Amino acid sequence: MTWLLAIFQTLLFVALAPLLAGWLKWCKCHLQNRQAPSLLQPYRDLLKLTRKQPVVAEHASWIFTRAPYIIFSAIVLAASIVPLIAVDLPTAAIADVIVLVGFFAFARFFLALAGLDIGTAFGGMGSSREMTISSIAEPAMLMAIFTLTMTASTTNLSFAIVHVLNEGLVLRPSFVFALFALMLVAIAETGRIPVDNPDTHLELTMIHEAMILEYSGRHLALIEWASQVKLMLYGVLIANIFFPWGIAQSFSVQALAYGLLAIIGKLALLAILLSISETLLAKMRLFRVQEYLSFAYLLGLLGMLSHIILEASR
């Protein structure tokens, strides 16, 4: 029963991720006084891409054609270990937050490798920029997560969420620093403004889009879908780790339904906040991204130090 629920939760990630992307686009368009597309438009885009025959470059190797399937599988496996509507599921017990970061790094490695594989200038440029950003983003993310795990004394996400729930509403300086650090990293890792702009194909500003410029058809659909699931993953991490109230601690129908409604509400609110920030901010110049992510690392470090100095000694 619990394994079926874990599989259902993973399928929810895959099914709801395009809806979250559509909601984010809808909010952003309204804030910018533009006509908003339907909330279901991402589903239509994915369906249209899957019906098209992919065009593959003449000199592309197996890496280029297999990378979309590997990337999508890695992100789905990452989704399977993150509690969405309930804790204490078997998939959360067999992998911890270190494995989650490993899945993200594995997907990013193959995405950068596919960008280099076809030998175009844009692909190489995008891969170079992606790996430069990830070399700073991963330590910042680990620092934020280690702050949380030190407080909960575990690297298991499910146990950490239960620990926060049992502690109740307590204002911890380490959590505040870790929250802001993880939010900054999430923006960078998901290619959102001000680090990257997923809606542009300008040569000087592309990062993620440059790596997938040669993809088409079902290959592009898988990569876009994986990107939407990754965005939802970061949203769920922020919502359920730092604001876990509402997540189901039992497997009754009422608790699961309440957990689903709670996470939908929290993700909708996070998408509104992200759309507001993207409306107010402009994309920063590429060499400023290093300062941005260094600040995220500093926030994570301050969170860990504040935990050691102010909280661990109590």
Q: Which residue type, as a one-letter code, is found at position 215?
A: Y
- Mean pLDDT, the chain, as a whole number? 89
Between CA 14 and CA 239 the distance in angstroms is 18
Residue 203: per-residue pLDDT: 67
In order of 19, 42, 213, the CA distances from 216 in angstroms are 22, 16, 8
Query: What pTM, to 2 d.p., does this model score?
Result: 0.94
How many helices and strands, by DSSP H and E, does the chain display?
Answer: 12, 0
Between CA 276 and CA 130 the distance in angstroms is 25
pLDDT, tens digit (0-9, with 9 covering 90-100), for 168-224: 777 788 888 989 999 999 999 898 888 888 777 676 677 878 888 889 999 999 999
Q: Which residues share a beta bridge with 80? A: none
Between 270 and 313, the more confident residue is 270
Between CA 131 and CA 168 the distance in angstroms is 39
Beta strands in the chain (DSSP E): none
Secondary structure (H, E, C), 1-13: CHHHHHHHHHHHH
Q: Which candidate, 63, 48, 72, 74, places its Cα nearest to that of 123?
A: 63
Residue 24: per-residue pLDDT: 94
In order of 17, 95, 181, 234, the CA distances from 20 in angstroms are 5, 26, 22, 12
pLDDT, tens digit (0-9, with 9 covering 90-100), for 54-111: 999 888 899 999 999 999 999 999 999 999 999 888 887 788 888 998 999 999 999 9
Dihedral sign of CA atoms 70, 296, 18, 89 in order: positive
Does the structure show a pLDDT above 70 at 164?
Answer: yes
Does the structure show a pLDDT above 90 at 38?
Answer: yes
In order of 15, 20, 253, the CA distances from 85 in angstroms are 14, 16, 11
Q: Which residue type, as a one-letter code, is found at position 237?
A: L
Residue 313: per-residue pLDDT: 61
pLDDT, tens digit (0-9, with 9 covering 90-100), for 4-26: 999 999 999 999 999 999 999 99
Residue 314: per-residue pLDDT: 58
Residue 231: per-residue pLDDT: 94
Q: Phi first, then psi: what are they for 248, rounded to 5°?
A: -75, 130
Confidence of residue 166 (pLDDT cuts 50, 70, 90): confident
Q: Which helix (H) or strand (E) holds 217?
A: helix 217-242
Between 14 and 310, the more confident residue is 14
